[in-house]
Amino acid sequence: MNLISIPAFQDNYIWVLVDDDRRCVIVDPGESAPVLHAIKENGWKPEAVLLTHHHNDHTGGVPELRAHFPHLVVYGPAETQDKGTTQVVQEGENIHIREWEFSVFATPGHTLGHLCFYSKPYLFCGDTLFSGGCGRLFEGTPAQMYQSLQKINALPDETFVCCAHEYTLGNMKFAVSLLPEDRAIQDYYHKVKELRAKNQKTLPVILKNERQINLFLRTDDIDLINKIKKYQQDYDLHFSNIIEQLNYIEHEQKQNNNSKLDLERFSIYIKILISQINSNKENLQSKIKEPSRSLELTSTKEQFENIKTVIDSTNEEIKKHKCLRIPVSKFPDFWNLLILSVF
């Protein structure tokens, strides 16, 4: 039995399992051309297609492959029914294709219906787990992704993790930035850099090794927990300074009878922002106390933009009048100066 990866698009891999009779199973064919080329060049005989989720870069080649090979059985989650799936499968099922047996388990997070297929020692995990990272949350929640990664982490050490994208270098840059003194992460990062400099693949990876370098499989790691504690401290200090200055502005403008600042809106946005920041602080603290807990922080971007809009509007009103420029170095980068009326 041979495991082969076919590059597609910019960074996709289409995985193919081929037996001694050249019968093959194709996983996540995002486009058909490279697969058809490989089939012709190697004399393969396609038996089935496995789809992990509904995104087009994993399913786009199915119609053309089925046009060439009408007998193909296409297995996939319910969310791929309009992508060419002929047999919907779900967690707990086993798929038998010639000598292969694939166990199916649900890994929601990247998409709600995402599935993984495991045929010892091969795991086809789509966009759930990458080397050094995990998939983006387009539909699922952090809690769902955490549970999905735990399922993968429970597989045998010798599992070959067949990810669908060559994201390893970017993921390892992120890991090194968080834990720069971690020897395993540093060594793997340099290895990946050398491979990618030569345009060589980093996949598949062995799960045993991935457990050492993938932060998303190390949620109970003390170094990572300490890093989160440091992040919490920095978060508290940064936002405390911001809130202090915003409260100062609010107080000063309330004392100013000629203020052109929309104090009602300004005060509401500050209250919402403070509520979001406090919620994030609580979530960070919970993560420290319970490392296995998923971490989901509320974005404060919208409230900062709302506050900025109010201030910008005020600035437009007072440009023709006497102004005071207040440097706000501890604010986000988009606020270099605040201009407020001092009448």
Number of domains the chain contains: 2
Summarize pLDDT for 319-341 with one digit per residue, the tens: 766 555 444 444 444 343 333 33
Residue 27 neighbours by CB distance under 10 Å: 26
Same domain, 249 and 152: no
CATH of the domain at 50: 3.60.15.10
Domain boundary among 172, 196, 218: 218
pLDDT score at 316: 79
Question: Please, are residues 74 and 47 in contact by the beta-carbon 8 Å criterion?
Answer: no
Please check whether residues 53 and 136 belong to one and the same domain: yes
The catalytic residue among 54, 58, 114, 182 is 58
Tell me which of 53, 54, 114, 182 is the catalytic residue. 53
> In this predicted structure, which of 160-174, 183-197, 212-226, 232-246 has the lowest mean pLDDT?
232-246
Do 204 and 241 fall within a single domain? Answer: no
* 55 included as an active-site residue: yes
Q: How far apart are CA 156 and CA 164, in angstroms?
A: 20
Are 274 and 175 found together in one domain? no
Positive or negative, the CA dihedral 254, 305, 235, 144 is positive
CA distances from 231 to 151, 220, 234, 235, 247 (A): 28, 16, 5, 6, 24
Q: Which of 121-125, 172-176, 273-277, 309-313 has the highest mean pLDDT?
A: 121-125
Give the SS3 label for residue 317: helix
The answer on pLDDT for 281 being more than 90 is no
Catalytic residue check, 54:
no
Question: In terms of domains, do 181 and 228 share one?
Answer: no
Residue 110: active-site member: yes
Does the predicted model carry a pTM greater than 0.85? no
Residue 5 has pLDDT above 50, yes or no: yes
Domain final position from 218, 246, 263: 218
CA distance linking residue 337 with residue 343, whole number of Å: 18
Query: Same structural domain for residues 209 and 227?
Result: no
Q: Are residues 75 and 36 in the same domain?
A: yes
Catalytic residue among 21, 71, 82, 127: 127
Does the annotation count 127 as an active-site position?
yes
- Catalytic hit among 28, 54, 114, 165: 165
Residue of 55, 190, 220, 312 marked catalytic: 55
Residues 27 and 148 in one domain: yes
Concerning whether 221 is annotated as a catalytic residue, the answer is no
Q: Last residue of some domain: 218, 245, 280?
A: 218
Q: Are residues 30 and 160 part of one domain? A: yes
Q: Which of 28, 54, 110, 114 is catalytic?
A: 110
| 234 given a catalytic annotation | no
Cα angle vertex 150, ends 282, 84, to 5°?
115
Q: Which domain holds residue 233?
A: 223-341
Lowest mean pLDDT: which of 211-225, 265-279, 288-302?
288-302
Do residues 17 and 116 share a domain?
yes
Indicate if 165 belongs to the active site.
Answer: yes
- For a pLDDT cut of 90, what percent of the chain falls above it? 64
